Amino acid sequence: MNSAMQRGLQKPGRLQQAGQWMQRHGKVIRAIQWVVVAVYAFLILVPAVMPLPDGSAHLWNNLTLAAQFVFWGIWWPFVLLSMVMLGRMWCGVLCPEGALSEFASRFGRGWAIPRWMRWGGWPFVAFGLTTIYGQMVSVYQYPKAVLLVLGGSTVGAMIIGVLYGREKRVWCKYLCPVNSVFSLLARLAPFHFKVNEDAWRRSYKEGEHGHRVIPVNCAPLVPLRKMEGVADCHMCGRCSGHRDAIALSWRSPAEEVVQLGDKVVNPWDTALILYGLLGIAIGAFHWTVSTWFVDLKQIFAAWLIDHDIMWPLDTNAPWFLFTHYPEQNDVFSWLDGTMVVGYILVTGIVYGTALLALLAGATRMLGKFEAKRLHHLTLSLIPIAGVGVFLGLSATTVSLLLAEQVPLWWVTDLRLGLLGLANIGSAFLAWRVTKRYASTMLARLMTMVWFIAALAVVDSAWYLMFWGFTRN
């Protein structure tokens, strides 16, 4: 019996069967994507042309509030959670932007991807700008802002699809504001599409299932043969079984960070973790509850009045630049908007730099300082960074449910529990990473002292947001 027949008699495991089901039922997945596109379009278009809700509106009788709850109370927090649990399956199976970008590229010009677009910093820059701009226009509260931010991103994805690539998700790989965030979180997923290098080489002689190899269109532009982790894979299932070498397989959630974290040193991943997820994002969540923000604004306003500089106190900025909804008694002055941007940026710089300094100290404990080691150790912060963004987004969920008088006595315990698990997860990853570099137990322990100090800095941000700041 030849080797191809022997492999054909081996019964695949349930997870591998799931991957094969996805490969065989691509049309079903495409249909699901179009259903999501329809729901997405309805939720961003219809509320934008409806009157804003009044004080008597509720989640169950007002479409605007319902859409707000779906987007910011359920959709985005649990998309982040899905990255850790399922890898980037959201991207490959459900994401409306990805589906529309790929669809548009079928009929586009198919231009080559330009060098400027391949710059590795775009996802970080896009994340920072989108986060800050979303706060400037109050994207969590108002449907016109949602249409502008999310709708604008979707239009951009389709334009890129029309211009570049052919049946590819060029936008997703190079310009999507959350691509790198999803890439980081997905590294903790408990399964991935594993490539068997030996089987791949055999396929050059034996083919696929004994027949000619059928080419696979990898829309997110992943080099399949060299695919080791799940950071870039959209988990769409199209490549399952390709060359009898790719199969959906279980793995340790720590594997990609610990074993692969030193193979590709990407400084933009380090920047995104420290200055993005643990910096800019924290500032964006903080300012709405920060007493420091209020105190600083009063100080600046008093100084402007004392010096007879009144224009920064005007409230004539358009709604697409700064929040401007007089009927809701929610209007930003030029000072308000500038303060929001400044607060977020300063918070990002302070937290990011403090964490960078502590991780640099931790890296030095491992011996000679190397950027590779710093980057590898920084990846250990992914659990605490991911949980932090989840908690920040879910604060909107909590606010909306409290407004409906839903009992939420359990929220504080849940937040503490999630933060505790995230701290343990990050510390565990860091401890495993130190084993790759340290020759003595003392060096590993000293490294962990610095790393735990970094965790304490992160925890201080969430203490301030949920318990430290008080609002009158």
Same domain as 285, residue 136: no
Q: Identify the pLDDT of residue 5.
A: 40
Q: Report d(CA 376, CA 189) in Å as an integer.
A: 18
Looking at the chain, the whole-number percentage of residues with pLDDT higher than 90 is 81
Same domain as 24, residue 155: yes
The token pair that represents 382 in the structure block: 């992914």
Q: Which of 366, 402, 359 is nearest to 381 (CA)?
A: 359
Q: Identify the pLDDT of residue 8.
A: 44
Q: Which residues contact 78 (CB under 8 A, 6 or more apart)?
A: none
Q: Which of 58, 61, 64, 75 is nearest to 401 (CA)?
A: 58
Q: Are strands 330-331 and 324-325 parallel, antiparallel or unpaired?
A: antiparallel
Q: Identify the pLDDT of residue 7.
A: 47
The token pair that represents 452 in the structure block: 């735990």
Q: Report d(CA 26, CA 238) in Å as an integer.
A: 7
The string of DSSP codes covering 158-179 is HHHHHHB-SS--HHHHHT-TTH
Q: Provide mean pLDDT across the span 410-421.
A: 96
Q: Identify the pLDDT of residue 55.
A: 80
The whole-model pTM stands at 0.93
Q: Identify the pLDDT of residue 229.
A: 87
Query: Rounded to an integer, what is the distance from CA 197 to the centroid of its chain?
Result: 30
Q: Report d(CA 108, CA 96) in Å as an integer.
A: 18
360-396 residue pLDDT tens: 999 999 988 899 999 999 999 999 999 999 999 999 8
- Whether 6 shows a pLDDT value over 70: the answer reads no
Find the domain containing 113 and state its range.
14-186
Same domain as 181, residue 274: no
Q: Which of 135, 160, 186 is the last residue of a domain?
A: 186
Same domain as 434, residue 329: yes
Q: Kindly state whether residue 217 falls inside one of the protein's structural domains.
A: no
Cβ neighbours, 10 Å, residue 354: 18
Q: Identify the pLDDT of residue 10.
A: 56
Question: For residue 191, which phi and psi values (nearest 5 degrees)?
Answer: -150, 165
Same domain as 274, residue 171: no
123-156 residue pLDDT tens: 999 999 999 999 999 999 999 999 999 999 999 9
Instruction: Using alpha carbons, list the distances in angstroms from residue 92 to 76, 77, 363.
Output: 16, 18, 36
Q: Kindly state whether residue 38 falls inside one of the protein's structural domains.
A: yes
Strand partners, 208: 211
Longest dimension (CA), the chain: 92
Give, to the nearest 10 degrees, the angle between helix 382-403 and helix 179-186.
110
Q: Kindly state whether residue 249 falls inside one of the protein's structural domains.
A: no
Same domain as 171, residue 267: no
Q: How many structural domains comprise the chain?
A: 2
Confidence band, pLDDT 50/70/90 cuts, at residue 2: very low
Confidence band, pLDDT 50/70/90 cuts, at residue 11: low
In 79-146, the DSSP E strands lie at none
Same domain as 284, residue 398: yes
Q: Report d(CA 91, CA 220) in Å as an integer.
A: 9
Q: Report d(CA 185, CA 233) in Å as an integer.
A: 12
158-199 residue pLDDT tens: 999 999 988 899 999 999 999 999 999 999 999 999 999 999
Looking at residue 111, what DSSP letter applies?
A: B
Q: Kindly state whether residue 229 falls inside one of the protein's structural domains.
A: no
Task: Please report, for the chain, how many H helices and E strands are present, in that order.
Answer: 22, 4
The token pair that represents 28 in the structure block: 């079903």
Instruction: Using alpha carbons, list the distances in angstroms from residue 321 to 154, 328, 345, 384.
Output: 19, 17, 17, 32
278-307 residue pLDDT tens: 999 999 999 999 999 999 999 999 999 999
Residue labelled with tokens 């604004």 = 297
Same domain as 264, residue 172: no
31-51 residue pLDDT tens: 999 999 999 999 999 999 999
Q: Identify the pLDDT of residue 147.
A: 95
Q: Provide mean pLDDT across the span 440-469.
A: 96
Q: Kindly state whether residue 219 falls inside one of the protein's structural domains.
A: no
65-96 residue pLDDT tens: 999 998 888 989 999 999 999 999 999 999 99
Same domain as 314, residue 424: yes
Looking at the chain, the whole-number percentage of residues with pLDDT higher than 70 is 97
Q: Which of 162, 186, 210 is the last residue of a domain?
A: 186
Comparing 15-19, 333-337, 366-370, which segment has the lowest mean pLDDT? 366-370
Q: Kindly state whether residue 212 falls inside one of the protein's structural domains.
A: no
Q: Kindly state whether residue 9 falls inside one of the protein's structural domains.
A: no
Confidence band, pLDDT 50/70/90 cuts, at residue 271: very high
Q: Report d(CA 63, CA 203) in Å as an integer.
A: 54
Q: Which residues contact 180 (CB under 8 A, 6 or more apart)?
A: 123, 124, 127, 268, 269, 272
Q: Which of 125, 56, 411, 401 is nearest to 272 (CA)?
A: 125
- Whether 206 shows a pLDDT value over 90: the answer reads no
Same domain as 34, residue 173: yes
Same domain as 178, residue 308: no
Burial of 231 (C-beta count, 10 Å sphere; 0-12/13-18/19+): buried
Q: Kindly state whether residue 270 falls inside one of the protein's structural domains.
A: yes
Same domain as 284, residue 373: yes
Q: Which of 165, 186, 207 is the last residue of a domain?
A: 186
50-68 residue pLDDT tens: 999 888 888 888 999 999 9
Q: Identify the pLDDT of residue 9.
A: 39
Confidence band, pLDDT 50/70/90 cuts, at residue 265: confident
Contact yes or no for 317/142 (Cβ under 8 A): no
Q: Identify the pLDDT of residue 211.
A: 78
The token pair that represents 202 in the structure block: 């055999």
- Whether 413 shows a pLDDT value over 50: the answer reads yes
